[in-house]
Amino acid sequence: MGERDLLPPPSAGEGIAAHTILLRPGADLTGFRDAARRLVAHGVPPGAVTWGIESAPSLFGGGAAPASETPLVLPRAVAALIPGVVPHRDPERYGLLYTLIWRSLHGERHLMEVASDPLVHRLYRMSKAIGRDLHKMHAFLRFRRVEGGEGERYVAWFEPDHHILEAAAPFFVRRFAGMAWTILTPEGRAVWDGTTLTYGPPGSRTDVPEGDGFEAGWQTYYETTFNPARVNPKAMKAEMPKKYWHNMPETASIPALLRGAADRTAQMIEREPTVPARREPARAVAAMADQDPKTLAELNAIIRRTEPLVPGATQAVLGEGSVGATLAFVGEQPGDQEDLKGRPFIGPAGQLLSRAMAEAGIDREASYLTNAVKHFKFTLRGKRRIHEKPTAGEVSHYRWWLDRELEFVAPKLVVALGATAVLALTGKSIPITRARGPFRFDRHDDRFQGFITVHPSYLLRLPDEAKEEAYAAFVDDLKRIAALGAELAA
Ligand code: URA
């Protein structure tokens, strides 16, 4: 908070005094909170306040007014919304937020639950816009390497729609903690020296070099992950709007890739299947994966556009079922049919699972089904694609997705089907025979209960004489799972 009305109490008989509050340019969360505290403490209603922005930009380093002594106790939903709206570019944001605070403290404590209220609706839309802007900045910002007197540094230029630099910077600190970097925007800069994050004056696009050695890596990455059979230019532009393209080296390839998409699809269909070449997760793959999806749909969009760790799969096979399902079943990796159709558990093992679930009284449609690894891995025998078990490294590569997926679905009970699922959920190799039954997946902080059982494909591989008994034991496990699920959902 800079020069501003320090709110002398209005004198008796004057009616309601008008107050002008000047906040610093950008997102002045501290200034707003402090002003709101003072205004509430002095009983100043929203109609008596004019919110403005200091003209002398004391952005980044202006002296703050002393904080109000009186704490402001707000309903939790109101307090949570404020930081998500303050960075919005709308000049009315502070006035709207103060109105929300005032109403919440004057008889409308549950106002935030009234989604149809025009003020609540508008503020929610504003916070969603901030969420989208942050997502774009996290996903589309690209650093260029600069060699200088102080050694290697990375610099990026980004033009957010809102005042989100300070809200976005901590993500890059976590993501690129070991690099010295600067993010330049038209409103200010964030500088990380490996230890401290500071803010400074704006930069310009020309302060960032046009290309560097990393550029070709991004471009190659994009060209190899581009799947011509699934190209949808409209969805592509919605997800990665054109205005960001100039910062992103890989987008230089888009026009040519789009032009060649039809031919490449025809070639892919004609081509015989080939044995995939193995490769290590590239740095760029990891960087693309390290995004911050806000919904299961956003997470799935990331998985869909990510190249398999071991190339060869037709597509990523995503989890199936609803957010909030009581039971989630985690398998190993999609098989041949799952890979072709893009759905989990529809091949022979999946059909056996469906039958056993039905016998145990579990509604498959009401459950969530997914896999530890999202892409099919195989070796070729003639023209047949023979399933190959994922390695521990591959399971750990995909663990990020499984963890996020389970966070979004939030099941009450997670069932690990077989050893790969157990490895994905616990990070450890645990024999099924030892751990079968209810199990605590302690990596997941008790967010859900766990249960370990065999994978249905194990039953398919057993000699005929052992099948019946093993299947009955599997159905028994599923019955226990059904009972546990019903108990947890009650
Ligand atoms: N096996 C699995 O683990 N998952 C599937 O989706 C199919 C078979």
Q: Identify the pLDDT of residue 253.
A: 62
Alpha helices in 28-75, H assignment, sequence order: 29-41
Measure CA 382 to chain center: 41
Question: Could you tell me the distance, in angstroms and rounded to a whole number, from the CA of residue 236 to the centre of ligand 1?
Answer: 29
* Ligand 1 within 6 A of CB of 329: no
Q: What sign has the CA pseudo-torsion 176, 83, 56, 8? A: negative
Residue 345 beta carbon below 6 angstroms from any ligand 1 atom: yes
Q: For residue 235, which of 333, 316, 305, 309 has the smallest C-alpha distance?
A: 305
- Tokens encoding 340: 């072709």
Indicate if ligand 1 lies below 6 Å from the C-beta of 339.
no
pLDDT value of residue 304 = 83
CA atoms within 13 A on the CB side of 15: 3
Taking the centre of ligand 1 as the mean of its atom positions, its distance from the CA of residue 325, in whole angstroms, is 19
Average pLDDT by stretches of 10, the chain with 490 residues: 49 57 94 94 94 68 50 90 96 97 96 92 95 90 78 86 95 82 94 91 85 54 54 65 70 66 59 44 42 85 81 90 95 95 94 96 96 93 88 90 94 97 94 94 84 97 94 97 95
Q: List Cα–Cα distances, 451 to 313, 415, 485, in angstroms.
A: 29, 5, 11
Cβ–Cβ < 8 Å for 383, 490? no
Query: What pLDDT, on the 0 to 100 scale, is given for residue 176?
Result: 78
From the CA of 285, how far away is ligand 1's center (Å)?
24
| Distance (Å) from CA 370 to ligand 1 centroid | 8
Q: Assess whether the C-beta atom of 307 lies below 6 angstroms from ligand 1.
A: no
Nearest atom (ligand 1) to Cα of 455: 3
Which tokens go with 420? 């790969």
C-alpha 353 to ligand 1 mean position (Å): 10
* φ and ψ of 189, to 5 deg: -130, 155
Ligand 1 within 6 A of 344 CB? yes
Cα–Cα distance measured from residue 216 to residue 223, given in angstroms and rounded to the nearest whole number: 10
**Which pLDDT score, from 0 to 100, does residue 12 have?**
40
441: part of which helix (H) or strand (E)? none
CA of 222 to the centre of ligand 1 (A): 28
Q: Which of 330, 341, 345 to mutate to test the pocket of ligand 1 (most atoms within 8 A of CB)?
A: 345
319 C-beta closer than 6 A to ligand 1: no
List the domain boundaries for the chain: 3-135, 141-207, 213-274, 281-489
Q: Is-above-0.75 flag for pTM?
A: no
Burial of 179 (0-12, 13-18, 19+ CB in 10 A): middle
Side-by-side strand order, sheet with 327-331: 368-371, 327-331, 413-417, 449-453, 437-439
Q: Which pLDDT does position 333 carry in this prediction? A: 97
* pLDDT of amino acid 230: 56
Of all atoms in ligand 1, which is nearest to the CA of residue 343? 6
- Best CATH choice for the domain 281-489 from the list 3.40.470.10, 3.20.19.10, 3.30.1330.10, 3.40.50.1980: 3.40.470.10
- Testing ligand 1's pocket by substitution, the residue of 315, 317, 329, 338 carrying the most ligand atoms inside 8 A of its CB is 338
Q: List C-alpha distances in Å: 437 to 218, 267, 403.
A: 46, 48, 21
pLDDT of residue 280: 39
Verify whether ligand 1 is closer than 6 Å to residue 390 (CB atom).
Answer: no
